[in-house]
Structure 1
Amino acid sequence: MRQHQRGFTLLELMITVAIIAIVAAMAAPSFNNQISNNRSVALGEELTSALNVARSEAVRRGTRVSLCASADGATCSNSWSDGWIVVVDNATSDTASAVTVGEVLRRWEAPSANAAINVQQNGGATGFVRFNRLGILGRADSGEVTVNASVSGCTGNAARNITVGIAGLLNVAHGDCS
């Protein structure tokens, strides 16, 4: 009596592999968009977290605390794409035009190279956000601070627009990636 072998022929296996390759090639671009969207959302969440840390530390310590752009993790700069730090701000007043770095409380590494971060106050770019001992926005006379964060390649509303009001409260909204 003859036994029948069970399994796939080489031809059936090759057709299955070809179909899987075609489906994977069609799905890859949408995976790339999803990855960019997730990175954009994560960037916005990191900046929101940093602002919340700065505000809560200002209240907890009863002194000025600032979030500022930083290339080296120890001093403030103007390029948010290099990373940022939360520092005790030894400036002489809430309205001082620069941060006087005291103790560095927390450091964030530079985001991916294709990140776009724009921080503005009173219509102009700024390199820092200061909170006073009450958790109120320092330099409040200059108006609220807006932070726009996105990653190139994101689609839809994955960008984040963060507004820091004069009272120090944060509002996070979805923004267009365009």
Structure 2
Amino acid sequence: MNKSHKHKGFTLVELMVTIAIVGILLALAAPNFSEMVARSKLKSALNEWQSSFYFAQAEAMRLKEKIHFCASSDGESCSNSGNYNQGWIVLYQSGKPDRVLRDVPPPDMSNNIDITFNGTTHTSTRAHIIFAPTGRIDGGFGGATVSFAYNDGKTTAIKLVVSNEGRLHIE
């Protein structure tokens, strides 16, 4: 009796070749994936900053008062730096105790994102934005750039331009 047995499955050689091919493909994809994650974190921080900017502008028009949009390390008061890495606030200073309308914590707790505000007035530099009751930026604001950079040395920074009228666009 001659019986033919068919074996189902993979040989060890076939399995090792498949694992090697998968390993090579993953090694090629990993750098692109990490850059994509970094870019996504930058865009998320940028969107959060833009959202707070437009919120402050809308609140100035709604309350018909000046509203401050500034970097803050404690979530309660404006810092005098243009470093938004530690977070930022939307602040209502009405003569009474200041009221924080929005407190945004740092967008990246691992400190890999660097957010730098470079603003000017007609006479000096300024580290924060004050919205007038009309929604325009107050105080002789001459425009600004906000740079969102990832500290990996590979990912391209995103620059956001703030016009003196209170409009944003990505450069």
* TM value normalised by structure 1: 0.80
Q: Equivalences for 1:28-67 in 2 at 5 Å?
A: 28-67=30-69
Q: Are the aligned partners of 1:90 and 1:101 in contact in 2 as well (CA < 8 Å)? A: yes
- Please state how far the C-alpha of 1:125 moved relative to its aligned partner: 5.1
For residue 12 of structure 2, what is the aligned residue in structure 1?
A: 10
Confirm whether residue 88 of structure 1 aligns to residue 92 of structure 2.
yes
For residue 131 of structure 2, what is the aligned residue in structure 1?
A: 131
Which has the larger displacement, 105-114 or 144-153? 144-153
SS at match of 1:122: strand
Q: Relative to structure 1, is the Cα distance of residues 104 and 20 closer, same or farther in structure 2, using a 3 angstrom cutoff? A: same
Q: Relative to structure 1, is the Cα distance of residues 111 and 101 closer, same or farther in structure 2, using a 3 angstrom cutoff? A: farther
Q: Are the aligned partners of 2:145 and 2:159 in contact in 1 as well (CA < 8 Å)? A: no
Q: Structure 1: which 5+ runs fail to align?
A: 92-99
SS at match of 2:8: coil
Q: Equivalences for 1:29-178 in 2 at 5 Å?
A: 29-77=31-79, 78=81, 79-90=83-94, 102-112=98-108, 113-122=111-120, 126-139=126-139, 141-153=140-152, 154-156=154-156, 159-163=158-162, 165-168=163-166, 170-174=167-171
Q: Are the aligned partners of 1:44 and 1:160 in contact in 2 as well (CA < 8 Å)? A: no
Give the partner amino acid of 1:84: W
* TM value normalised by structure 2: 0.83
Q: Are the aligned partners of 2:148 and 2:159 in contact in 1 as well (CA < 8 Å)? A: yes
Q: Relative to structure 1, is the Cα distance of residues 44 and 162 closer, same or farther in structure 2, using a 3 angstrom cutoff? A: farther
- Post-superposition Cα deviations, 1:72-128, rounded to whole Å, max 9, x if no partner, equal 11122123110001111337xxxxxxxx97211111111321222221222765332
- Please state how far the C-alpha of 1:48 moved relative to its aligned partner: 1.1
Q: Are the aligned partners of 1:85 and 1:104 in contact in 2 as well (CA < 8 Å)? A: yes
Select the structure of larger CA radius of gyration.
Answer: 2
Q: Structure 2: which 5+ runs fail to align?
A: none
| Identity fraction in percent | 29
C-alpha distance in 1 between matches for 2:133 and 2:61: 5
C-alpha distance in 1 between matches for 2:165 and 2:31: 43
C-alpha distance in 2 between matches for 1:27 and 1:167: 43
C-alpha distance in 1 between matches for 2:138 and 2:144: 10
SS at match of 1:143: strand
C-alpha distance in 2 between matches for 1:159 and 1:13: 44
